[in-house]
Structure 1
Amino acid sequence: MTLVDLTRLVESGMPTYPGDPPVSVESHAEFDTDGYRVSRLELGTHAGTHVDAPAHTEPDGRTLDAYSVADLRFTAQIVDCRDVGAGGLVTPDSIPNELADSTDFLVFQTGWEAEWGTERMTDHPALAPETGQWCADRGISVGIDALSPDLTGGDGVPVHHVLLGSRQLIVENLCGLDALPESRAFDLFVMPLRVDADGAPARVVAEV
């Protein structure tokens, strides 16, 4: 078995969703002056590779601390939708029917991890609302290699509402998806900060 890290590095000035707080990683204490090292982090709960909890979009939604460790381990498969293109929508027919029988997490590979930090980053493909509903109906959480499973700057966040409203989780800004197997399931570990909040940065690791 091999562990594959699917996580963006948290660093000062990293790209963020439009309007979200900027990210800063600064020194608070140094060896030369203090004899030890401490850093100060400033970032939003949806910085970098992160998990959206239901409380992100649902007024009565659960926060991340309501999920046990067992809730954060998934049997996952990848859905290759790199042919959709900028601003396009991934429809349910992109998902092989047999995936619903063997997985509880789908990773949508749009190819947009290559646009991280570019002017095209916000032009990513997204899931059609009916695709989000397909996943929610089957108790499947969702990950994507883009800013959001909804269109950035689009008309609302219907995919967020249907998934988070059914207590599923959403993981955004995944990377390194080329290392995942194309036609078989793998274990996925999604470990966000344990915090009573609407979301949090996470270390996301696949065992393949």
Structure 2
Amino acid sequence: MIIKLSYNLSEQTPFYEGLAKPKLVPIFHFSKGDKWNSFYFTTSNHAGTHVDAPNHFCPKGRPITDYGIDELIFAKPAILELPLGEAELITPDHLSGIHKLSRDSDALVIKSGFGQYRGLAPKTYVDDGPGFSCAAAEYLLRELPQLRVLAVDFISITSAAYVEQGCEAHRVFLGCSGQTRRAILLVEDLFAPEDLVELKKLYVIPIFFDGLDSAACTVFGEL
């Protein structure tokens, strides 16, 4: 069975105040008497479910369009239940549960439960989300040596309450740090339903638009 683990983009997609939300503009439309529908749509490449590639933070890092399809399929995904509250900073202590996971895991889905706020309280979801500390990022890469993608059910690896910590965590994960040159991908704003407990495979399918550092993506899971 295949399930979708990403949100549809829409004009209601939660996003940061002051930045333009996704916008849909009809060029031709049946309602105007046209014989077909056609639209312009505009969006930040970091709105909605999206995948961060190294070039998001690393000037010489790979953009998402440089990745082959085989690099976006993950055969050994793991799921970590990690309940998180508003503006909670993830530290290594939060991640003790990863010792129960296989060290061969190539994908990690973090189920924090914070996704409930996406529909119930979008402002809280955007402004008060949890995020990673730099130390937690380094710890995760060290403990899961085969990891190639981290997917989280909150809006960003960076909590708005801890921007500097979040930026450093991004740099560690994306291979910009002087301490680690290993780069993984980051899927943010993932849909992780409550009953998701196991995955056989994970697929991350981005929009391949040349020039983008990162891109909106559709994520599928094989149960």
Quick check: 94-103 or 122-131, which moved more? 94-103
* Matches of 1:112 and 1:11, distance apart in 2: 20
**Displacement after TM superposition at 1:37 (Å):** 1.1
Helix, strand or coil for the counterpart of 2:218? strand
Query: C-alpha offsets along residues 65-107 of structure 1, whole Å, 9 cap, x if unaligned?
Result: 111001101121111111x322223333333224242311111
**Displacement after TM superposition at 1:179 (Å):** 3.3
* 1:1-208 equivalence runs, <5 A: 2-31=1-30, 33-74=33-74, 75-82=76-83, 84-92=84-92, 93-116=95-118, 117-121=121-125, 122-137=127-142, 138-140=145-147, 141-156=149-164, 157-165=167-175, 166-181=182-197, 184-196=198-210, 197-208=212-223
* Matches of 1:139 and 1:149, distance apart in 2: 20
The one-letter code matched in structure 2 to 1:175 is F
**Displacement after TM superposition at 1:170 (Å):** 0.4
Q: From the superposition, tell whether residues 17 and 100 of structure 1 become closer, same or farther in structure 2 (CA, over 3 Å).
A: farther
* Matches of 1:161 and 1:22, distance apart in 2: 25
The one-letter code matched in structure 1 to 2:21 is P
Query: C-alpha offsets along residues 29-76 of structure 1, whole Å, 9 cap, x if unaligned?
Result: 123533111121110111100011111111111101111001101121
Runs of 4+ in structure 1 displaced over 4 angstroms? Answer: none
The answer to whether the Cα contact below 8 Å between 1:79 and 1:106 also exists between their aligned partners in 2 is yes
* Matches of 2:112 and 2:202, distance apart in 1: 18
Normalised by the length of structure 1, the TM-score is: 0.89
Normalised by the length of structure 2, the TM-score is: 0.83
* Matches of 1:203 and 1:187, distance apart in 2: 14
Q: From the superposition, tell whether residues 169 and 105 of structure 1 become closer, same or farther in structure 2 (CA, over 3 Å).
A: same
The answer to whether the Cα contact below 8 Å between 1:81 and 1:90 also exists between their aligned partners in 2 is no
In structure 2, the gaps of 5 or more residues are: 176-181
Q: From the superposition, tell whether residues 67 and 102 of structure 1 become closer, same or farther in structure 2 (CA, over 3 Å).
A: same
**Displacement after TM superposition at 1:186 (Å):** 2.4
Q: From the superposition, tell whether residues 99 and 9 of structure 1 become closer, same or farther in structure 2 (CA, over 3 Å).
A: same
The one-letter code matched in structure 1 to 2:172 is V
Helix, strand or coil for the counterpart of 2:172? helix
Aligned residues: 204
Query: What root-mean-square deviation, in Å, do the aligned CA atoms of Structure 1 and Structure 2 show?
Result: 1.9
Quick check: 61-70 or 28-37, which moved more? 28-37
* Matches of 1:13 and 1:118, distance apart in 2: 9
The one-letter code matched in structure 2 to 1:190 is V
Helix, strand or coil for the counterpart of 1:95? helix
* Matches of 2:191 and 2:62, distance apart in 1: 26
The answer to whether the Cα contact below 8 Å between 2:141 and 2:173 also exists between their aligned partners in 1 is yes
The answer to whether the Cα contact below 8 Å between 1:49 and 1:174 also exists between their aligned partners in 2 is yes
